[in-house]
Amino acid sequence: MKRIVFLALLILSLLITLLAVGCKKAGKKDKIILEVWDFPRPKDTTALWQQEVFKNFEKKHPNVKVEYSMLSWARGGQKLDVSVASGTYPDICGSAMKPSYVLQDVLEPLDEYITPEEKADLNPQALKACQFENKTYAFPWYSTIYLTILNMDVFKERGVAPPKDGIWTWDEFVEKMKKLTFDRDGNGTIDCYGIGFGIQPGTGEAWGVLYSDGGRFYNDDLTRCVVDSPEFTSGVQKLYDLEFKHKVALPNAGGLNPSGDVWNSFLSKERPLAATFQGEWAVISLKKRNEKIRNKDPEAVKGDWKPLNFMAAMTPIGKTGEIVTASPGVGNFVIFRQSDPVKRKLCIELAKELAWSDQAQRMNYNSGTIPVRKSIGNIYGDDIDFKTISRAFENVIMPPFHPEGGKMDELVQRQIQEAMVNQKTIPVAMKQAVKSVDDVLSQYHLEREAQTRYTGPRFTPRETMAAISVCILLLMILVCAVMLLRQPQPMKVLKKHYWSYLFIAPSLMVFTVFLLMPVVYSLMLAFQKFSVQGSSFIGLANFRKVAGDGIFFDYAIPNTLFYTLIMVPEGILVSLILASIIAPLSNRSQTFFRSAYYLPGVISGIIIAMIWKWIFDPSFGLFNQLLNAMVNKMRPYPYIYGPFSGFLAVLPYFISLAAAVGVWFLLMNFFKEILTRYKPLPRMKDYLVFLSLPALGVLWVAIKGVYIPLSLSLIPMCHQIAGGKVGWLTDPNIALVSIMLSGMLMAPGGGVILYLAAMGRVPKELHECAMLDGAGPIRRWWHITVPLIRPTTLYLLVMGTIGSFQIFEKILIMTNGGPGYATTPLVMSIYRRGFEFFEFGVASAQALVLFAMVVIVSVLQFRFLKSDVEY
Amino acid sequence: MAYEEDDGLSKGEKVLTKQSAAMVLPTYIFLISWGLLSFVPVLWMFLTAFLPKEALQKMPPDLNLTLLTYENFKQLLAFPGKEFSFSKLSWYGSETGVIIWWFLNSFFLASVNTCFNLFFDSLAGYAFAKRDFPGRTFLFWTLICTMMVPGQVVLVPLFLMMINLGLYDSFLAIILPSIAGVFGIFLMKQYIQSMPSGLEEAARIDGCSEFGIFIKIILPLCKPVLAVLGIFVFVGNWNNFLWPMIVLKSQNHYTLQVGLSILQQLQEHEVHYGIQMAGAVVAAAPILAVFLFLQKYFIKGLTIGGVKG
């Protein structure tokens, strides 16, 4: 026994030492550490060169250590936002020039460190993109723009002439695209589309078209959003027409990721696209690809790559009659606030090296970007495509520069998505976009004003937390005192039981500090305007914001309810059925199936979600490939294909009707339970309940909450299945159901195991009695097994509901809430408010709404389904 | 409630509902095919991880088994550098082989949390099960009710708290909030309650201290349920994603799950599923192995926690 104790203590102490080592920051104290963050650069060239620069810099300054961290393109920006909001930012960061950082006063103004010679050498457009309110906050490194990339092989195949010098008007463009959209093998489906593009928040590939009729995002002084102007609306209309009127665009443009899905299609060997809107990086990427093919690079040989002749062209000229080019912005290096002047000087030296040295500028060749220093000249030599690029660069419109830019971009782009997927008409969508953006803008101005005028008390997080902990401590002491004093002999009780209190103290302490305190803090945050410098109390404003939040009420809550209403009953039903089938089997097979069904459940949800995303991939995913193969096999035989598509046409109605009836039946039983709990009804009235007013309400929930959304997604899904290609996660009508499908196809292992255990405990005497009375297996199952395992059903119901109210990670990985807001659940809306927009107050208010929902539903379920049956 | 009963599940049912041979075959076929169906994603993960990128971009995918390669793992190991070599392996410079550190971080965090959880949960569970101190019921039900608080409610305040405690980007921020768990306390209480009190009474009469009773008598008797709890806590922590993602900043401190999410988009314009799935295999393999060896305990844990006694 002593040995075990000794061993346990040994392990514990070992772990604590490890912990201390693990948490210790490495690096010697006497060295100046420069923390550099950057997004991933081309792997074999620029990234290596950067490491070289750091090494040389360390050699040159022996007392300096450069610590480099790579951000990811997908989540890097957000990570940076979090670190800025929490005051834990790096020293130098690549491509981090954001006005919101300027407002938070975390960036060093750099004007005094730029010599006039350097300034004269820079491209003024690029420098301007690094300025806010006439101060420079970053060293520009490269410029980027969006172009139209043409697949010349398809142009040749259809005998269409490319635009001369890459310049074309909109009408010419549409004309050519129509010719380029065709059915290559004559099987009735279109194999090649003219143009591929996608709309997604944070991307801007198609924005050249949106700008082309003179539309803009803001008015000139950035005080109003003008995306509802006729000029801009006609730009959106153009994109819409490409897909729906001229039918020349890759379908589901509203849900596609421009540089992912669209680009993959463009590269695909089947040549399904004649042209695509892309960033200028595409030019160099294609060039390198062709080079690799020519040099018989193993990657190209293995992948069986085919050379792709391409050409870069401008965005088609719109009603303004001028070339308009959109741009994602300027690559740059910023320096975050430094208190130590020596370190600041070092940072500036390093950042300049990274951005402006001749080598740095030449590195642009690897990514196909445009150097910002004029003296570097043409790094691309005599190449027609780069002539087009520099020509396009003359008319570039840099993205709007506003502290709330990211948020407003998201609001507008999601609305354009909604319009593109036929959820709304364009004017309505744009009006709504303007309304929400103007709200943000006026809020921003009001808050900026209020922040300067506000003189009331401010509480930093530290002060708030100190206050809360004092309050909780006092309260706990009070409760303990009252409880003790109520005992007849307090001291004696304490003496007898102090061990028990000591035993539970560590756990209670953890829960108090890391659960109770945050909950109370969250309650307070909901009434505050949060700011790191000091929060002010603003009453119910956050809740008003939640109440006025269209996304929260139109998408987050309905999506969550829909998901719960379908998934929870489905999970319980399937586990009940599976368990009932497994229960009579031999012990060994029971063990086998229990393990087999539970196995996928131990793998983390995010991995499962990643796999499903891959399975749902529009072009390379397992599902679409299988479907495509199947449908293509079937098509030549109309007597197979006809019934197949006919079956698919009626299937959605059956499924959604069945689901709605099922949900209605369940809810009605629940409701009947409530009524009969207190006053048993005579048998007749038992059925009359189904006709009462609340029953109509339940019916309404079943129709509105289940039947309509389910059939709305199943109809297009089945339609697309018949076509051989489904936009599982890219079509907003289908996406949520696809996510649910991924959950349904996995057997509910936990539920099966619990039901099996519960069924094993049902006394066999009951079954024997029933058998003597002549009851068959199904009757016994329904009248004995199902009622007796009710506690397990209740447990699964409550846990399932809580779990599905909190669904998040899976959706974050699979769709990130899109397209539009089609798959945004409650928790994602909280997460976005909190960790993407940094409105902790509103996020807390939303979280409280979620909490209230969870509590109400669980209490209801517990109260009315709790079984009185004891056996 | 004692869990021993659960082993010989449904004997009664079996005797009563013996099925005819004609029914057995379809039953097995149905059950096995459903099992396979839910296994498809896992199989697909393994397949994708071991196939070259090019084979998967073909239509239909080239599932020729001669193509199997560990190229994806090589690239994964080399991340973020160009080539993997042990000499370049470093925690802070992150030149190459970061995935190894992610793996170790995950392992370290999961094991530390498991140790703490086992100790503190059984301590509290023992007190709640065997000691009749004033306020016991109230405190126990308060604990059970905290299970209802959605994690997202405390996300923001906890994050602010960690920043102010100076624990941002530190492992302590992950360890501290989860050194004890409600589920664990509940599990331990249920189990200890079902044990006879005779031994501890005897020890108490012999003059053993309360802590001594816990260490010398209760803990050794709890070994089976400790194994169950340990596995559950370990797997839960290993799979933990959201909180580490928020509270860890530097790439070297990432856990495997967080690291995998950044692997989602390594290059700006390319999604490399092969590398992603290779990472997924690395993250899932240890857990799958643990499950296959200890599945008995998993299932026991579920039934102890899931059915209230």
> Are A787 and A844 contained in the same domain?
yes
If you average pLDDT over residues A491-503, what whole number do you get? 81
Residue A24: its pLDDT value, please?
47
Out of A530, A553, A578, a domain closes at A530
Q: In terms of domains, do A586 and A679 share one?
A: no
CB neighbours of A691 closer than 8 A, spacing ≥ 6? none
For residue B44, CA distances in Å to A423, A739, B47 come to: 34, 17, 5
Contact A506 B126 (CB under 8 A): no
pLDDT digits 0-9 by tens, A49-64: 888 888 888 888 888 8
Q: Which of A72, A594, A791 sits opposite B262 (nearest CB)?
A: A72
In angstroms, how far apart are the furthest CA atoms of chain B? Answer: 77
- For the entire predicted model, the pTM comes to 0.76
- What pLDDT score was predicted for residue A367? 76
pLDDT tens digits, A523-541? 888 888 776 667 777 778 7
Q: Which amino acid is at A270?
A: E
Which residues in chain B have Cβ-Cβ distances shorter than 8 Å to A764?
11-13, 15-16
Q: Do B31 and A581 touch (CB under 8 A)?
A: yes
Contacts of B121 in chain A (CB under 8 A): 507
Average pLDDT over residues A424-440: 86
Q: What's the pLDDT score for residue B3?
A: 40
A122 and A211 together in one domain:
no
Q: Does residue A720 form part of some domain?
A: yes
Is pLDDT at A428 greater than 60 in this prediction? yes
Q: What is the predicted pLDDT for the residue at B267?
A: 53
Q: Assess whether pLDDT exceeds 60 at residue A651.
A: yes
- Pick the residue with more confidence: A128 or B20? A128
**Assembly ipTM:** 0.80
* pLDDT tens string A181-219: 888 777 777 778 888 888 887 788 888 888 888 888 877
**Whether the Cβ atoms of residue B12 and residue A764 lie closer than 8 Å to each other:** yes
Query: CATH number, domain at A407?
Result: 3.40.190.10
Of all residues in chain A, what percent are helix, strand and coil, respectively (each to 5)?
Answer: 65, 10, 30
Sign of CA dihedral A253, A255, A257, A263: negative
Structure tokens at B81: 């550098």
Q: Does the pLDDT of residue B237 top 80, yes or no?
A: yes
Output the pLDDT for position A869: 43
Of B59, B158, B220, the CB nearest to A4: B220
**Under CATH, what is the fold of the domain B98-306?**
MetI-like fold (1.10.3720)
pLDDT at position A25: 47
Across A110-122, average pLDDT: 85
pLDDT in the model for residue B15: 43
List pLDDT tens digits, range B29-49: 888 888 888 788 888 788 888
**Same-domain check for residues A697 and A764:** no
Q: What residues make up the domain containing A46?
A: 30-142+329-379
Is residue A267 a part of any domain in this protein? yes
Are residues A259 and B241, on separate chains, in Cβ contact within 8 Å? no
Flag whether residue B144 sits within 8 Å of chain A, measured between CB atoms: no
Cα B116 from Cα A16, distance rounded (Å):
10
- pLDDT for res B186: 85
CB within 8 Å: A72 and B264: yes
User: Considering the domain boundaries, does residue A17 fall inside one?
Assistant: no
Residue A709 lies in a domain: yes
What pLDDT, on a 0 to 100 scale, did the predictor assign at position B4? Answer: 40
Instruction: Check residue A709 and give its pLDDT.
Output: 86
Phi and psi torsions of A333, nearest 5°: -125, 130
Could B6 and A768 be called an inter-chain contact, meaning their C-beta atoms sit closer than 8 Å? Answer: no
In a domain, A225, yes or no: yes
Report which of A104, A97, A46 is spatially closest to residue A333, judged by C-alpha positions: A97
Residue A362 clears pLDDT 50, i.e. is over it: yes
Task: Tell if the CB–CB gap between B164 and A593 is shorter than 8 Å.
Answer: no
Q: Tell me: the pLDDT tens digits for A766-779?
A: 888 888 887 777 88
**Arithmetic mean of pLDDT over chain B:** 77
Q: Which residues pair with A335 in a beta bridge?
A: A92
**Do A138 and A151 belong together in one domain?**
no
pLDDT for residue B13: 45
- Which residues on neighbouring strands pair with residue A131, listed in sequence order? A136
Q: Best interface-test mutation with B: which of A289, A575, A602 has the largest number of B CBs within 10 A? A: A602
Q: Are residues A634 and A707 in the same domain?
A: yes
3-state secondary structure A465-494: HHHHHHHHHHHHHHHHHHHHHHCCCHHHHH
pLDDT tens column, A252-274 = 777 777 777 788 788 877 778 88
pLDDT higher than 70, residue A152? yes
Measured from the Cβ of residue A554, the count of other Cβ atoms closer than 10 Å reads: 12
Q: CA quadruple A754, A755, A759, A760: dihedral positive or negative?
A: negative
| In chain B, domain spans | 3-71, 98-306
Q: What is the DSSP string of chain B?
A: --GGGGTTTTHHHHHHTPPPHHHHHHHHHHHHHHHHHHHHHHHHHHHHHHS-HHHHTSSS----GGG---HHHHHHHHTTSSS--GGGB-SSS--B-HHHHHHHHHHHHHHHHHHHHHHHHHHHHHHHHH---TTHHHHHHHHHHHTTS-HHHHHHHHHHHHHHTT-TTSTHHHHGGGSS-HHHHHHHHHHHHTS-SHHHHHHHHTT--HHHHIIIIIHHHTHHHHHHHHHHHHHHHHT--HHHHHH--SGGG--HHHHHHHHTTSBTTB--HHHHHHHHHHHHHHHHHHHHHHHHHHHHHHHHHHS--
Distance CA A40, CA A31 (A): 26
Q: With CB atoms and an 8 Å threshold, state whether A593 touches B93.
A: no
In B, residues 188-207, which contact A (CB 8 Å cutoff)? none
Decide if A420 is inside a domain.
Answer: no
Instruction: Identify from B268, B276, B290, B304 which residue to disrupt to test chain A contact, counting A C-beta atoms within 10 A and taking the largest count.
Output: B268
pLDDT at position A61 is 87
Q: CA of B129, closest CA in chain A: separation in Å? A: 10
- The pLDDT confidence band at residue B120, using thresholds 50, 70 and 90, is very high
Give the per-residue pLDDT at A26. 46
Torsion of Cα atoms, B19 then B25 then B26 then B28, to 10°: 90
pLDDT class of B59 with cuts at 50, 70, 90: low
Instruction: For residue A490, give how far its alpha carbon lies from the nearest alpha carbon of chain B (Å).
Output: 10
From residue A617, give the alpha-carbon distance in Å to each of A265, A286, A318, A591, A629. Answer: 12, 23, 34, 35, 15
Enumerate the residues of chain B whose CB falls inside 8 A of the CB of residue A462: 164
Among A456-460, A515-519, A632-636, which stretch is predicted with the lowest mean pLDDT? A456-460
What is the predicted pLDDT for the residue at B114? 92
Residue A599 and residue A638 share a domain: no
pLDDT of residue B11: 45
Q: Which of B3, B4, B13 to mutate to test the interface with A (most CBs of A within 10 A)?
A: B13
**Residues forming beta bridges with residue A92, ordered by sequence position:** A36, A335
Residue B137 burial (C-beta neighbours within 10 Å; 0-12, 13-18, 19+): exposed
By DSSP bridging, strand A329-335 and strand A273-279 are unpaired
Interchain pair A503, B127: CB under 8 A: yes
- Of the candidates A664, A695, A726, which is a domain's last residue? A726
Q: Report percent pLDDT > 90 for chain A.
A: 1
Helix (H, G, I), strand (E, B) or coil at A110: coil
Which of A277-286, A563-572, A663-672 reaches the highest mean pLDDT? A563-572
**pLDDT in the model for residue A724:** 76
Taking the CA of residue B209 and the nearest CA in chain A, the distance in Å comes to 9
Given this model, what pLDDT does residue A739 score?
92
Give residue A627's pLDDT band: very low, low, confident or very high (50, 70, 90): confident
> What pLDDT score does B62 carry?
60
Distance from CA of A603 to the nearest CA of B (A): 6
Coil, helix or strand for A815?
coil
Of the pLDDT bands very low, low, confident and very high (cuts 50, 70, 90), residue A373 is confident
Give mean pLDDT, residues A670-688: 65
pLDDT (0 to 100) of residue A682: 61
Same domain? For A241 and A124 the reply is no
What distance in Å separates the CA atoms of residue A728 and residue A705, rounded to the nearest whole number? Answer: 21
Does residue A171 lie in a domain region? Answer: yes
Q: Which of A1, A302, A625 sits opposite B61 (nearest CB)?
A: A625
Ramachandran area for residue A95 (φ above 0: left; ψ -120 to 50: alpha; else beta): left
Q: CB distance A604–B54 less than 8 Å? A: no
Residues of A in contact with B306 (CB under 8 A): 750, 753-754, 757, 792, 795
Closest CB from A514, A584, A805 relative to B14:
A584
Q: Are strands A92-94 and A329-335 parallel, antiparallel or unpaired?
A: antiparallel
Residue A302: its pLDDT value, please? Answer: 67
Cβ atoms of A666 and A758 within 8 Å: the answer is no
In this structure, the answer to whether residues A311 and A167 fall within a common structural domain is yes
Q: What is the pLDDT of residues B158-177, one digit of tens each?
A: 888 888 888 888 888 899 88
Domain boundary among A511, A530, A549: A530
Is the per-residue pLDDT at B60 higher than 70? no
Is residue A733, in this structure, part of any structural domain at all?
no
Helix, strand, or coil here: A763?
Answer: coil
User: Which residues in chain A have their CB less than 8 angstroms from residue B131's CB?
Assistant: 497, 499-500, 503
Comparing A474 with A538, the larger pLDDT belongs to A474
pLDDT band, very low/low/confident/very high, at B2 (cuts 50, 70, 90): very low
Total of domains in chain A: 5
Whether A588 has a pLDDT exceeding 50, the answer reads yes
Higher pLDDT, A382 or A573: A573
Please give the pLDDT value at position B54.
67
